[in-house]
């Protein structure tokens, strides 16, 4: 029976002839079929994946040089363009839309001989924290099907969680990789803003969006990031410097934790106790953990939602039934035509965020909301830069609670406040990762989030390795 632990072991098995790429693909196709009820995939590329696998097996058998991701089976979120395949952002307005090109980050993986097995379900236009707003219906958490998998990249998280692929790609605008990873008990990595090209990623909020990675093995997650972080002239916001390859940072880490985060009234008591115990365990292992104030903490969520909804209202204006999007019946009045198309095509949450964005950008409110939020964002960027100049990283909870029940966060305000620990990294453009560590008394997983200096994913991943070792020890 096919088994996968990490890429290195898989490649050794391929080289020794104990397995094949075709056997791997068939294994994952069977898993996808067996787990259809979880609703993780919007489309499975069965025939194409098998053809690719056979071609890779032939190449390897002919002793040709193989790529670093030779035969690695990867799923992608339904907001990442793949030429000749549907990309709908889980929205009715993009029903049956076929991409004309491939996202740069995805092409880099394909160039290293990865096998793309399918497209994963998500919250509509990546707007949500529960994967309940998809036009395809909600994704279920494989550990407890009465609970959400997190969002917006819930399908990508469950695909890895339930063993339907080796790794998957998501997008993270305010925690949409880290929070579902936390709810599903796997690793979720969001690189720095500009680390990975956004060309071919359907935009939600362009100054926040970042492609991220789901997996179960930290070194493999690092490998995918290294491959995808190559330069791309098609994305003008990308950092064109090569990934920072600093010498190994000190074995004993110097980390900060925000007092306001640890003592927040919304934080589940069991999660708080686990984090406090873990901090003591780190100290006992010789690491320095300092509790420091972060007085802008209460401004994080309001600033985030003002800015992202403003950007969303601009980005989604292109979906009008003419430039992009499914058109309803034709109307002589252009405004009515647009209204009909958007009313029928967009779901409730997307409409809510578009209207909120239009409001904060409108005359008389721009200075009071949007301009003020931009000022707060700049203060957050400056303060985080100062903190991370002194510390190797900041540790935080990932979410205030474990995966919640379907329908539990029907109030949008309570749903937005659940992002309190993740949106900081997006506001400041920092790399951040969710590491699975603990199990709650309700039998659901949760872990620890780590952030590091912008552009220094190397230190973040080294620190993550240390934290996982201490947790396991």
Strands 115-120 and 73-77: parallel
What is this structure's pTM? 0.96
**Per-residue pLDDT tens digits for 32-67:** 999 999 999 999 999 999 999 999 999 998 888 999
Categorize the per-residue pLDDT at 262 as very low, low, confident or very high, splitting at 50, 70 and 90: very high
Q: Report, as an integer, the average pLDDT of 293-311.
A: 97
Q: What pLDDT is recorded for position 414?
A: 85
Residue 244 has pLDDT above 60, yes or no: no
Q: What percentage of the chain has pLDDT greater than the value 90?
A: 89
State mean pLDDT over 185-211.
98
Asked about 152 being catalytic, the answer comes back as yes
**What 3-state class would DSSP assign to 239?**
coil
pLDDT tens digits, one per residue of 311-325? 999 999 999 998 899
Average pLDDT, the chain: 95
Task: DSSP for 121-183, please give it.
Answer: --SGGG--SSS-S-TT-PPPBTTBTTB---SSSHHHHHHHHTTSSSEEEEE-SSSTTHHHHHH
Are the CB atoms for 137 and 1 separated by under 8 Å?
Answer: no
User: Is the distance from CB of 445 to CB of 390 less than 8 angstroms?
Assistant: no
Residue 415: pLDDT over 90? no
What is the share, in percent, of the chain residues with pLDDT greater than 70?
98
For the question of residue 272 being annotated catalytic, the response is no
- For residue 407, is pLDDT > 80? yes
Mean pLDDT throughout 23-39?
98
Q: Give catalytic status of residue 91 as yes or no.
A: no
What sign for the dihedral angle of Cα 219, 38, 401, 410?
Answer: positive
pLDDT at 242 over 70: no
Segment 335-361 mean pLDDT: 94
Does residue 248 carry a pLDDT above 90? no
Check 156, 176, 229, 313 and give the catalytic one: 176
Q: How much is the average pLDDT of 297-307?
A: 97
Which among 152, 197, 303, 464 is annotated as catalytic? 152
Of 245 and 162, more confident: 162
């Amino acid at each position: 029976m096919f088994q996968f632990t990490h890429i290195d072991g898989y490649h050794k098995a391929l080289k020794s002839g104990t397995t094949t790429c075709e056997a791997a693909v068939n294994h994952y196709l069977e898993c996808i079929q067996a787990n259809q009820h979880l609703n993780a995939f919007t489309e499975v590329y069965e025939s194409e994946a098998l053809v690719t696998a056979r071609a890779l097996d032939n190449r390897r058998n002919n002793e040709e040089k193989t790529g670093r991701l030779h035969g690695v089976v990867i799923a992608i979120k339904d907001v990442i363009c793949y030429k000749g395949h549907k990309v709908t952002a889980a929205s009715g307005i993009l029903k049956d839309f076929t991409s004309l090109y491939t996202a740069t980050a995805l092409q880099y993986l394909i160039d290293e001989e990865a096998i793309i097995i399918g497209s994963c379900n998500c919250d509509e236009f990546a707007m949500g924290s529960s994967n309940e707003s998809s036009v395809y219906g909600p994704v279920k958490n494989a550990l407890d099907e009465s609970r959400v998998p997190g969002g917006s990249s819930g399908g990508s998280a469950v695909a890895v969680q339930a063993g339907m692929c080796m790794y998957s790609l998501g997008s993270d605008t305010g925690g949409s990789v880290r929070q579902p990873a936390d709810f599903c008990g796997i690793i979720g990595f969001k690189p720095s803003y500009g680390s990975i090209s956004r060309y071919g990623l359907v935009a939600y909020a362009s100054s926040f969006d970042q492609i991220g990675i789901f997996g179960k093995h930290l070194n493999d997650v690092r490998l995918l990031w290294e491959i995808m972080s190559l330069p791309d002239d098609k994305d003008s916001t990308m950092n064109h410097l090569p990934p920072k390859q600093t010498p190994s940072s000190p074995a004993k880490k110097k980390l900060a934790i925000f007092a306001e985060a640890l003592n927040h009234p919304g934080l589940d008591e069991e999660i708080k106790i686990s984090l406090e115990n873990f901090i003591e365990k780190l100290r006992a292992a010789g690491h320095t953990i300092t509790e420091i104030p972060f007085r802008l903490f209460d401004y994080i969520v309001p600033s985030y939602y003002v800015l992202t909804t403003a950007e969303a209202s601009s980005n989604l204006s292109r979906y009008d039934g003419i430039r992009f999007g499914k058109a309803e019946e034709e109307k002589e009045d252009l405004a009515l035509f647009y209204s009909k198309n958007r009313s029928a095509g967009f779901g409730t949450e997307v409409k809510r965020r578009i209207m909120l964005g239009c409001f904060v950008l409108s005359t008389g409110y721009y200075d009071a909301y949007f301009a003020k939020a931009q000022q707060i964002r700049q203060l957050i960027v400056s303060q985080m830069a100062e903190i991370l100049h002194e510390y190797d990283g900041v540790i935080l909870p990932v979410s205030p609670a474990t995966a919640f029940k379907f329908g539990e966060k029907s109030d949008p305000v309570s749903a937005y406040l659940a992002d309190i620990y993740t949106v900081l990294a997006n506001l400041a453009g920092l790399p951040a990762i969710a590491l699975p560590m603990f199990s709650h008394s309700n039998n659901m997983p949760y872990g620890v989030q780590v952030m590091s200096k912008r552009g220094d994913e190397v230190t973040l991943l080294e620190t993550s390795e240390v934290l996982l070792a201490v947790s396991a020890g």
